[in-house]
Chains A and B, each alone.
Chain A
């Protein structure tokens, strides 16, 4: 088994980005992207996102997940440095999608206490819209989710206390 996200990413790309979806795989729909899992082995997984044209990808974090994005071009596979848990991204995705959209391969390592699902639901930051918020709520019914913002590391009880 791989020891780091980087090690897994190297193995995955060196082996030609194998398609091996887990049984029971499903298509996850958000307001600005559609995704499905291409590969999963315990806490390591790869999701393929089709980022919609003109997406509203806000700056966000994926708590408990390390992510390496892969840009696939006609001639090369380029790894974008790892995004650690607690670090944010988003602006680059929005700019790259522009009016055409693009495929984004997300290589992930999930914390041992988490069940890998989709990083679209493992979210902290501004949300992409109501479909996205519903997706997060499905996996985290007790999380802090308000219109336009979600944080799965906080509880919705905090809202009641305010």
Chain B
């Protein structure tokens, strides 16, 4: 059972974790064993990790996007923070929201293996990926645990599904 500051954490799902993370005002407690992950379209960093659960911050460059992809063995909830972000997930196109007040808005969970894609407009995009990783898989970054076309050669060099 994961522990946090002496308290037992008993999240049972990614929804559970996302709810806890939001109620607790999005705590920042980086594990500091991960680098800043850099691809052709984004920079990301693990802000919080406890057991198989973690929160990753993504800052996406303006006027870029990702191809359709999935993250085998990971369930995640995307919480949008700002910028111009369009998201397609679970067969639903959430559309591009130019300069929208996105504070804390989140999509439905993206289940293990579901494909999704991201598009960013002129202000780029900032979002959190709140994640639950399957037991037996060491949490790193969903940038690494990626199935599908990549965002470019730099990204391809990071992908590892072992």
**Which residues of B, 42-99, contact A by the 8 Å Cβ criterion?**
43-45, 47, 57, 59-62, 81-83, 99
Q: How many A-B contacts at CB < 8 Å in the complex?
A: 101
Who on chain B is nearest to A15 by CB? Answer: B25
Q: Are B36 and A25 neighbours in the complex by a CB distance under 8 Å? A: no
Assuming A36-B81, A74-B30, is B45 touching A27 (CB within 8 A)?
A: no
The number of chain B residues with a CB under 8 A from chain A is 35
Please name all residues of chain B whose beta carbon is closer than 8 Å to the beta carbon of A29 when the two chains form the complex. 61-62, 124
Q: Are A74 and B103 neighbours in the complex by a CB distance under 8 Å? A: no
Whether, in the assembled complex, A103 has its beta carbon less than 8 Å from a beta carbon of chain B, the answer is: yes
**Which residues of A, 86-107, contact B by the 8 Å Cβ criterion?**
99-103, 105
Q: Which of B26, B30, B82 makes the CB contact (< 8 A) with A26?
A: B82
The number of chain A residues with a CB under 8 A from chain B is 32
Whether, in the assembled complex, A81 has its beta carbon less than 8 Å from a beta carbon of chain B, the answer is: no
Provide a sorted-by-A list of 16 A–B residue pairs whose CB atoms are within 8 angstroms.
Answer: A17-B27, A17-B28, A19-B25, A24-B82, A26-B123, A34-B59, A36-B81, A36-B83, A50-B57, A50-B59, A51-B36, A52-B43, A99-B35, A100-B34, A101-B43, A105-B28
Residues on A lying within 8 angstroms of B by beta carbon are 15-21, 23-29, 34-36, 48, 50-53, 72-75, 99-103, 105
